[in-house]
Amino acid sequence: MASSGASKNSKKANLLDPHSIKHTLDESVTELVKGKGYPEDVRLSNLRLIIGAVIIGIALLAQFYNKKFPENRNFLIGCIISYVAFNLLLHFISYTKEKNAILFTYPPAGSFSSTGLVVSSKLPRFEEMYTLTIASADPKSISANKTVHLTKSVTKWFTKDGELVEGLFWKDVERLIDDYNNDRKSK
């Protein structure tokens, strides 16, 4: 019975699908970092949702405007320009701010640091090397630490059946978080 309970809590990934592997690892990293006392910063996600809602509003307004085509030509041109501009803004935010980030955090409660973390990951297609990066959310801050990286083969963390061996993976991630935090102590 103990093994059936363990299998319910274990995370599985399709080993033939790099997206599934990355998603499983990213989900586990997010749980661990939040469990270490770093509250999630969702401001950027909320901004993206608001911009997306504005884009949908523009599209709906253009579709259901009460005048027919020849009369609403200038209005439609304005909607198209606005639609493209907001989409470009959304892509700009994704490209410049998010990049490969999977988690933005605030500093832990009671911490002397004024900056949270940006946790990002990379698993290139057709490769087995997973790279996890922890950086300061505000790299120009005086309390910012040096960026730390972990690059390791995903075969070290998964069984042949695709189950994530969380104990091994969490040790590596905790060591990376400790490396990031130890840089602060060495300053």
Question: Per DSSP, which regions of the chain are E strands?
Answer: 101-104, 117-122, 129-136, 148-153
The token duo for 103 is 């988690």
> Cα–Cα distances in Å, from 133 out to 86, 113, 119, 149, 160?
30, 19, 6, 4, 26
Report pLDDT for 184. Answer: 46
Task: Say which amino acid occupies 72.
Answer: N
User: In DSSP terms, which residues pair with 56 in a beta bridge?
Assistant: none
Ranges in the chain, pLDDT < 50 = 1-7, 184-187
The pTM of the full predicted model, rounded to 2 decimals, is 0.76
Q: What does DSSP say about strands 101-104 and 117-122: parallel, antiparallel, or unpaired?
A: antiparallel
Q: In this predicted model, what pLDDT tens digit does every residue of 133-172 receive, in sequence order? A: 988 888 777 777 888 999 999 888 988 888 888 888 989 9
Place of tokens 């200038």: 74
pLDDT in tens, 171-183: 999 999 888 887 5
